[in-house]
């Protein structure tokens, strides 16, 4: 393993200063970066900045009408969080599908966001919940809505001196969020398709509004399927709705063949799982 | 006698059939006499459990350097040179190329075709070309980065069907196949493709070479066959017997993957150790191990079966093509076993089997649990299950009609005189799994609207599937005669009893079962028996630890040696061995007995005509799998497998069940998710992130039924167990997937991608005539 120079700031301001002086690859839990340090998957980072000691970036809090998760919140912390379980259970579900216990103990939500893998399992949930990514630097903080954060294959809206500070999820009354991951096996697998669907409806017989469909592993970045959302918006979860939406989503995505699956499978399964989620919501 | 156990539950009680003789099998672990049939603690278990067992990477050699392999990045190329960047200070490291090998640049195996280090032509991706050693890892990495291979690309051969280079081919036939098909009223044809499978032992390949004062080398490594490595070192380094010493370190699994590869790795480490005159460590990481070491042979099996109007199997015409990869390795014997097992355990008067193993520019394939049989028996069982469907008879009933019974003759003309338990394993498994009752239930569920179980919106198909297999015990044909194995026992001068064999422990239980067999033969407690380390300076060549031969063949030799020792001592002392051996040792000094393999009486095979007794005996296995298939995603959950395996005689029930459970799970992975995709001859699934095996969550509940139909040629009746379960579970799972979905998956793994594609194709075919069929609730 290659061991680039590493700095370990003890406060956020120090971290910002170091980042302003030179480009550093941030390390939180290290579950992505350590793999990159083997140097076999492309050039390893030249310099590392260890964020693990920055307690300012930890914690899950209820913040008015939003749930705020520090960038260093681990998957284990999310799984154990009563607030998450009560308010956005899809976060807990998604966290439970990531890696093994060791990975969940070290891997962080901020890391999942910044690593920007198209297969990042938390990211469709953030897309479906209108999450806001708060980023910071010596220049202060700014907010990036999740749909604008991932800009291309492993590309983000972060400037070289910026890091993810926290993730804010607005809490919306009567919002339902459903999560589903399809992997090669039942645990410790990278997704073939990962999907989060949300909608707002005051009661089961009411038309859906504010529909969001976040998708992973079907494009070069995590995406919202906005055309499919438009089909679902203002509709009831009926058989016709499910049929129309699943045809729409199959046409809307451009998945690829790779080592994990095929484009055909990803397209078909995205459509079928969406169909199933609508079916389950409609209870038919 | 039958014993049963279940993984995932508290230890089940021993269940004996009503006519069972005195219970001789006891699952209770114990440190008392622990004769065969009991389950004493495994010898190396406490050290493994407490982390004190020393695997190769745990061994410390002060001053040792680290070795690295420079590998090809092309599938095929002319090798013009190995260039060392003049800007780098090469005096700090050592570099070895083909030119530095003192003897023949050949890895000793069946054919002399595989170089230790490539020269002239590169024939596969990740082929070793040069070696570097350095005192530390950072310098090693830096040095390796300054080595360049100068090559000129050549067009690779990647499709086995297009390969003109044949490493081995066989043709065997019995009866008249044309006449058989003329008699047939039903002919079922199929082409089945199975891919690479990785052994995925927990410990990667690892070797440390230490130069000796006598000019030779001692290697410590993770390996199955110390004398294979010994022979390879002697030949290519021009060493005497004594100058080459091979010591097995604690070995974390093998499954065949440490049968031939350790010879290459030992040569690499030894060449570097000679060059730098220091110990050299070569410990593969998982990526290198996956990218470069041997896998199960992919195969294409084309199969025609003919069934007469009255339901007899009257003809089988089978063609097998195995992809050997770039070098021969063990392919001729893998192919041989695959060929001999390809008819399945069924009597058929007219059989023709043609097979070939061909070269492609891909990494060489080699030994893996089952050794050719899982590939061809998958095809055989698919055929039988498809015939049952075509005849609308139960696959259980069809097998009962066709399976081998005592007195039947195999395609090589071998008369199955004894130890034939096909019917017993089938019946035991069917009874335990309630096969017919569950099958009736799944059939009824399929006719329900929407093909639905449970919650109306969850479309889960449930299915059950059955398979039957046979596995030849020990080496094929005259292999055991050629091996001429030796096992020894010594009563030392200080009164210890020591078993000396080259048979290795790699997690399967050699170190525990041999002392059990010896203790019984000598009439002493198991603690009185020691087991010598697998060090070629100490132990004889007992043949390789492969082919499920250890318990049967070498175990038999251990018993033979112990019986002779007992007779010698009792003759001298006039009393029972147990009471007199310490005094005998004091009075007479050491007594060592070397037991040599003698051919099993009445077993004869002609290697040129392929007629005769291909194996001294066969083990028999049946598996019944139940699966849930998500009809929206094609995901398969294997819920349970009932495995009934006839192993001749159970020596250690807990270890035996472990073998069946492990082999079954490995077969479930083979059936469902384990896959190697290639691009330009390179494995794309060369990391654990992409080569996936089942986790505990993916593992089915496994119920093991051990059946004992002893083989009279072995003093204890054992026939071997390691490979048997690997032959049978994959076709059972695929049959269950068919039961759940209505589609046959001809290629392994039966991945969700393949299942969904087959279901879509079937629905598309149906909707032409019947728009309402099958896929009611799904998206249209």
Q: Quick one: pLDDT band at residue B658, thresholds 50, 70, 90?
A: very high
Contact A186 B637 (CB under 8 A): yes
What confidence score (pLDDT) does residue B767 get?
59
Q: Give yes or no for A259 touching B (CB within 8 A).
A: yes
Contact B753 A264 (CB under 8 A): yes
- Is residue B778 predicted with pLDDT exceeding 50? no
- Is residue B29 predicted with pLDDT exceeding 80? no
Of the two residues B452 and A136, the one the predictor is more confident about is A136
Q: Give yes or no for B136 touching A (CB within 8 A).
A: no
> Min CA distance, A179 vs chain B (Å)?
15
What confidence score (pLDDT) does residue A204 get?
87
Contact A40 B287 (CB under 8 A): yes
B754 in any annotated domain: no
Domain span holding position B551:
485-596
- Chain B residues inside the 8 Å CB shell of A102: none
What confidence score (pLDDT) does residue B633 get?
96
Contact B698 A185 (CB under 8 A): yes
- Chain B residues inside the 8 Å CB shell of A272: 632-633, 778-779
Contact A284 B780 (CB under 8 A): no
Q: Give yes or no for B24 touching A (CB within 8 A).
A: no
Burial of B780 (0-12, 13-18, 19+ CB in 10 A): exposed
Q: Give yes or no for A257 touching B (CB within 8 A).
A: no
Can you tell me whether residue B377 is helix, strand or coil? helix
Question: What's the rounded Cα separation, in Å, for the pair B152 and B121?
Answer: 9
- Is residue B464 predicted with pLDDT exceeding 50? yes
B155 in any annotated domain: no
- Chain A residues inside the 8 Å CB shell of B780: 243
What confidence score (pLDDT) does residue B13 get?
36
Q: Where are the beta strands (DSSP E) in B611-669?
A: 611-612, 618-630, 636-646
What confidence score (pLDDT) does residue B765 get?
82
Q: Quick one: which H or E segment has residue B138?
A: helix B137-145
Can you tell me whether residue B507 is helix, strand or coil? coil
Question: What's the rounded Cα separation, in Å, for the pair B144 and A104?
Answer: 35
Give the fold, CATH level 3, of A175-282: Enolase-like; domain 1 (3.30.390)
Question: What's the rounded Cα separation, in Å, for the pair B270 and A231?
Answer: 68
- Chain B residues inside the 8 Å CB shell of A189: 692
Q: Give yes or no for A153 touching B (CB within 8 A).
A: no
Q: In angstroms, what CA-CA distances link A114 with A123, A146, A191?
A: 10, 11, 18
Q: In angstroms, what CA-CA distances link B734 with B302, B397, B468?
A: 18, 19, 13
Q: Give yes or no for B698 touching A (CB within 8 A).
A: yes
CATH of A6-170, one of 2.60.40.10, 3.30.465.10, 3.20.10.10, 3.40.50.970: 3.30.465.10
The DSSP-derived string for B180-235 is HHHH-SEEEEEEEEE-------SSPPEEEEEE-TTS-EEEEE--S-HHHHHHHHHH
Assigned token pair, B205: 């390949």
Q: What is the CATH number of the domain that holds B504?
A: 3.30.365.10
Reading across the β-sheet that carries A25-27, which strands appear in turn?
A: A6-7, A48-50, A25-27
Q: Quick one: pLDDT band at residue B24, thresholds 50, 70, 90?
A: very low
Residue B269: closest CA among B226, B235, B237 = B237
- Chain A residues inside the 8 Å CB shell of B632: 269, 272-273, 275-276
Residue of B nearest to A265 (CA): B753
Contact B698 A188 (CB under 8 A): no
User: Which of A187, A243, A262 lies closest to B753 in CB terms?
Assistant: A262
pLDDT tens string B696-734 = 999 999 999 999 999 999 999 999 999 999 999 999 999
Domain residue ranges of chain A, discontinuous segments joined by +: 6-170, 175-282
Residue linked to tokens 């007469």: B308
Residue of B nearest to A271 (CA): B779
Contact B633 A273 (CB under 8 A): yes
Average pLDDT (B353-357) is 98
- Is residue B679 predicted with pLDDT exceeding 80? yes
Of the two residues B611 and B764, the one the predictor is more confident about is B611
- Chain A residues inside the 8 Å CB shell of B757: 264-265
Q: Quick one: pLDDT band at residue B416, thresholds 50, 70, 90?
A: very high
Q: In angstroms, what CA-CA distances link B690 with A262, B157, B195?
A: 14, 25, 15
B contact residues 583-642, partner A, Cβ 8 Å cutoff: 632-635, 637
Range in A42-46, B318-322, B548-552 with the lowest mean pLDDT: A42-46
Q: How many CB atoms lie within 10 A of CB B674?
A: 26
B511 in any annotated domain: yes
* Cβ(B504)–Cβ(B247) below 8 Å: no
- Chain B residues inside the 8 Å CB shell of A264: 753, 757
Average pLDDT (B196-210) is 98
- Chain B residues inside the 8 Å CB shell of A185: 673, 692, 694-695, 697-698
Question: What's the rounded Cα separation, in Å, for the pair B117 and B107?
Answer: 9
Please, where are the H alpha helices in B240-280? Answer: 261-276
- Helix B395-402 to helix B422-433 angle (10° resolution) is 160
How high does pLDDT run on average in chain B?
A: 93
Q: Strand A132-137 and strand A140-145: pairing?
A: antiparallel
What confidence score (pLDDT) does residue B17 get?
41
| Residue A75, C-beta contacts closer than 8 angstroms, at least 6 positions apart | A95, A96, A98, A99, A103, A104, A105, A107, A108, A109
Q: Give yes or no for A65 touching B (CB within 8 A).
A: no
Residue of B nearest to A244 (CA): B779
User: Which of B637, B684, B778 lies closest to A272 in CB terms?
Assistant: B778
Q: Strand B206-211 and strand B186-194: pairing?
A: unpaired
| Residue B631, C-beta contacts closer than 8 angstroms, at least 6 positions apart | B451, B459, B460, B461, B741, B759, B778
- Chain B residues inside the 8 Å CB shell of A182: 633, 635, 752
> Min CA distance, A170 vs chain B (Å)?
30
Residue of B nearest to A100 (CA): B695
- Is residue A146 predicted with pLDDT exceeding 90? yes
What confidence score (pLDDT) does residue A139 get?
98
Phi and psi at B723, nearest 5°, equal -90, -25
* Cβ(B514)–Cβ(B531) below 8 Å: yes
Contact B694 A185 (CB under 8 A): yes
| Residue A21, C-beta contacts closer than 8 angstroms, at least 6 positions apart | none
Q: Give yes or no for B73 touching A (CB within 8 A).
A: no
B525 in any annotated domain: yes
Q: Give yes or no for A131 touching B (CB within 8 A).
A: no
Q: Quick one: pLDDT band at residue B9, thresholds 50, 70, 90?
A: very low
- Chain A residues inside the 8 Å CB shell of B753: 261-262, 264-265
HSE of B259, CA atoms in CB hemisphere, 13 A: 25
- Is residue B141 predicted with pLDDT exceeding 70? yes
> Min CA distance, A130 vs chain B (Å)?
28
Q: In angstroms, what CA-CA distances link B547 with A184, B237, B321, B661?
A: 31, 28, 21, 18
A contact residues 23-62, partner B, Cβ 8 Å cutoff: 38, 40
- Chain A residues inside the 8 Å CB shell of B778: 272, 275
Q: How many CB atoms lie within 10 A of CB B538?
A: 14
Average pLDDT (B96-115) is 96
> Min CA distance, B754 vs chain A (Å)?
9
Q: Quick one: pLDDT band at residue B2, thresholds 50, 70, 90?
A: very low
* Cβ(B497)–Cβ(B522) below 8 Å: yes
Task: Give chain B's length.
Answer: 780
What confidence score (pLDDT) does residue B36 get?
84
Q: Give yes or no for A241 touching B (CB within 8 A).
A: no
What confidence score (pLDDT) does residue A12 get?
98
Contact A283 B753 (CB under 8 A): no
Q: Quick one: pLDDT band at residue B450, thresholds 50, 70, 90?
A: low
Contact B757 A264 (CB under 8 A): yes
pLDDT tens string B540-581 = 999 999 999 999 999 999 999 999 999 999 999 999 999 999
Q: Give yes or no for B449 touching A (CB within 8 A).
A: no
pLDDT tens string B224-238 = 999 999 999 999 999
User: Which of A188, A243, A273 lies closest to B632 in CB terms?
Assistant: A273
B353 in any annotated domain: no
Can you tell me whether residue A239 is helix, strand or coil? helix
- Chain A residues inside the 8 Å CB shell of B458: 276
Contact A269 B689 (CB under 8 A): no
Contact A269 B632 (CB under 8 A): yes
A6-170 and A175-282, same CATH topology: no
- The domain tally of chain B equals 1
Average pLDDT (B29-36) is 55
What confidence score (pLDDT) does residue A23 get?
96
- Chain A residues inside the 8 Å CB shell of B71: none
A contact residues 158-197, partner B, Cβ 8 Å cutoff: 182, 184-190
User: Which of B457, B632, B779 lies closest to A243 in CB terms?
Assistant: B779
Question: What's the rounded Cα separation, in Å, for the pair B413 and B676?
Answer: 37
Contact A185 B459 (CB under 8 A): no
Contact A268 B780 (CB under 8 A): no
Contact A265 B692 (CB under 8 A): no
- Is residue B23 predicted with pLDDT exceeding 50? no
């Amino acid at each position: 393993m290659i061991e680039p120079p590493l700095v370990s700031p003890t406060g956020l301001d120090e971290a910002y200063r170091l980042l302003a002086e030179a480009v550093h690859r941030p390390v939180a839990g290290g579950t992505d970066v350590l793999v990159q340090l083997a140097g076999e998957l492309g050039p390893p980072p030249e310099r590392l900045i260890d964020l693990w000691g920055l307690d300012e970036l930890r914690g899950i809090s209820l913040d008015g009408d939003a749930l705020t998760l520090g960038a260093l919140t681990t998957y284990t912390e999310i799984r154990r969080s009563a607030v998450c379980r009560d308010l956005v259970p899809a976060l807990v579900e998604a966290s439970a599908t990531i890696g093994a216990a060791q990975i969940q103990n070290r891997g962080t939500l901020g890391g999942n966001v910044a690593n920007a893998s198209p297969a990042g399992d938390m990211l469709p949930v953030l897309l479906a919940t209108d999450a806001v990514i708060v980023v910071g630097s010596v220049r202060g903080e700014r907010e990036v809505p999740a749909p604008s954060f991932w800009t291309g294959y492993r590309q983000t809206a972060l400037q070289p001196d910026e890091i993810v500070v926290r993730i804010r999820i607005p809490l919306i009354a009567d919002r339902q969020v459903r999560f589903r991951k399809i992997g090669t096996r039942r645990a410790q697998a990278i997704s073939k398709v990962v999907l989060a669907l949300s909608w707002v409806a005051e009661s089961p017989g009411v038309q859906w509004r504010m529909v969001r469909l976040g998708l992973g592993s079907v494009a070069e970045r995590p995406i919202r399927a906005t055309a499919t959302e438009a089909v679902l918006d203002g509709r009831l979860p009926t058989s016709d709705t499910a049929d129309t939406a699943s045809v729409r989503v199959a046409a809307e995505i451009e998945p690829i063949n790779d080592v994990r699956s095929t484009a055909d499978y990803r397209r078909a399964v995205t459509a079928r799982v969406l169909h199933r989620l609508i079916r389950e919501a409609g209870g038919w | 006698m039958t014993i049963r156990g279940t993984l995932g539950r508290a230890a089940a009680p021993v269940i004996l059939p009503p006519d069972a003789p005195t219970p001789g099998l006891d699952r209770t672990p114990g440190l008392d006499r622990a004769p065969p049939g009991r389950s004493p603690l495994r010898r190396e278990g406490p050290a493994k459990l407490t982390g004190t067992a020393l695997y190769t990477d745990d061994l410390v050699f002060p001053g040792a350097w680290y070795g690295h392999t420079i590998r090809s990045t092309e599938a095929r190329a002319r090798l013009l040179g190995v260039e060392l960047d003049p800007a780098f200070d090469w005096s700090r490291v050592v570099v070895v190329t083909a030119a530095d090998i003192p003897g023949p640049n050949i890895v000793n195996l069946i054919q002399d075709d595989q170089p230790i280090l490539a020269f002239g032509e590169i024939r596969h991706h990740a082929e070793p070309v040069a070696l570097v050693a350095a005192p530390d890892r950072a310098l090693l990495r830096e040095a390796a980065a300054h080595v360049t291979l100068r090559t000129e690309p050549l067009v690779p051969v990647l499709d086995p069907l297009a390969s003109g280079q044949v490493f081995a081919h066989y043709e065997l036939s019995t009866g008249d196949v044309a006449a058989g098909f003329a008699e047939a009223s039903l002919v079922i044809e199929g082409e089945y493709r199975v891919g690479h499978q990785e052994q995925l032992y927990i410990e990667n390949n690892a070797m440390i070479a230490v130069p000796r004062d006598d000019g030779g080398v001692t290697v410590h490594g993770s390996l199955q066959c110390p004398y294979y490595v010994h022979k390879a070192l002697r030949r290519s380094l021009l060493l005497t017997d004594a100058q080459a010493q091979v010591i097995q370190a604690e070995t974390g699994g093998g499954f065949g993957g440490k049968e031939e590869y350790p010879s290459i790795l030992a040569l690499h480490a030894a060449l570097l150790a000679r060059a730098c005159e220091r110990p050299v460590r070569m410990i593969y990481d998982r990526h290198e191990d996956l990218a470069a070491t041997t896998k199960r042979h992919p195969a294409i099996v084309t199969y025609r079966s003919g069934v007469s109007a009255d339901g007899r199997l009257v003809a089988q015409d089978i063609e097998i093509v195995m992809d050997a990869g770039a070098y021969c390795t063990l392919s001729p014997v893998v192919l041989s076993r695959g060929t001999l097992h390809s008819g399945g355990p069924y009597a058929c008067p007219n059989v023709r089997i043609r097979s070939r193993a061909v070269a492609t520019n891909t990494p060489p394939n080699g030994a893996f649990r089952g050794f050719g049989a899982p590939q061809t028996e998958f095809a055989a069982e698919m055929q039988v299950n498809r015939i049952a469907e075509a005849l609308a008879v139960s696959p259980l009933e069809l097998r009962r009609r066709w399976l081998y019974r005592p007195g039947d003759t195999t395609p090589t003309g071998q008369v199955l005189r004894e130890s034939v338990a096909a019917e017993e394993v089938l019946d035991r498994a069917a009874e335990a799994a309630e096969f017919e009752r569950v099958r009736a239930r799944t059939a009824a569920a399929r006719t329900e609207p929407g093909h639905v179980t449970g919650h109306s919106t969850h479309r889960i198909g449930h299915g059950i599937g059955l398979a039957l297999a046979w596995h030849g015990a020990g080496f094929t044909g005259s292999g055991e005669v050629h091996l001429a194995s030796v096992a020894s026992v010594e009563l030392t001068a200080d009164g210890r009893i020591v078993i000396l064999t080259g048979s290795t422990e790699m997690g399967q239980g050699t170190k525990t079962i041999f002392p059990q067999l010896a203790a019984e033969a000598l009439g002493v407690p198991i603690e009185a028996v020691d087991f010598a380390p697998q060090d070629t300076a100490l132990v004889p060549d007992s043949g390789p630890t492969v082919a499920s031969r250890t318990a049967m063949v070498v175990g038999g030799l251990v018993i033979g040696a112990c019986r002779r020792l007992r007779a010698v001592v009792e003759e001298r002392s006039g009393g029972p061995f147990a009471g007199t051996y310490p005094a005998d040792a004091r009075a007479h000094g050491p007594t060592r007995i070397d037991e040599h393999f003698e051919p099993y009486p009445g077993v004869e095979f002609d290697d040129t005509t392929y007629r005769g007794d291909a194996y001294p005996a066969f083990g028999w296995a049946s598996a019944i799998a139940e699966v849930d298939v998500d009809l929206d995603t094609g995901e398969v959950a294997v819920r349970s497998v009932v495995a009934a395996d006839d192993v001749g005689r159970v020596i250690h029930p807990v270890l035996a069940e472990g073998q069946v459970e492990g082999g079954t799970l490995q077969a479930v992975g083979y059936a469902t998710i384990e896959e190697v995709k290639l691009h330009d001859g390179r494995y794309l699934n060369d990391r654990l992130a992409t080569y996936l095996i089942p986790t505990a969550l993916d593992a089915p509940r496994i119920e093991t039924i051990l059946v004992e139909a002893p083989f009279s040629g072995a003093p204890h009746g054992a026939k071997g167990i390691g490979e048997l379960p690997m032959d049978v579970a994959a076709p059972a799972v695929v049959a269950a997937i068919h039961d759940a979905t209505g589609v046959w998956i001809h290629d392994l793994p039966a991945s969700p991608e393949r299942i969904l594609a087959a279901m879509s194709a079937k629905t598309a075919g149906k909707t032409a005539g019947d728009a309402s069929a099958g896929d009611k609730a799904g998206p249209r």
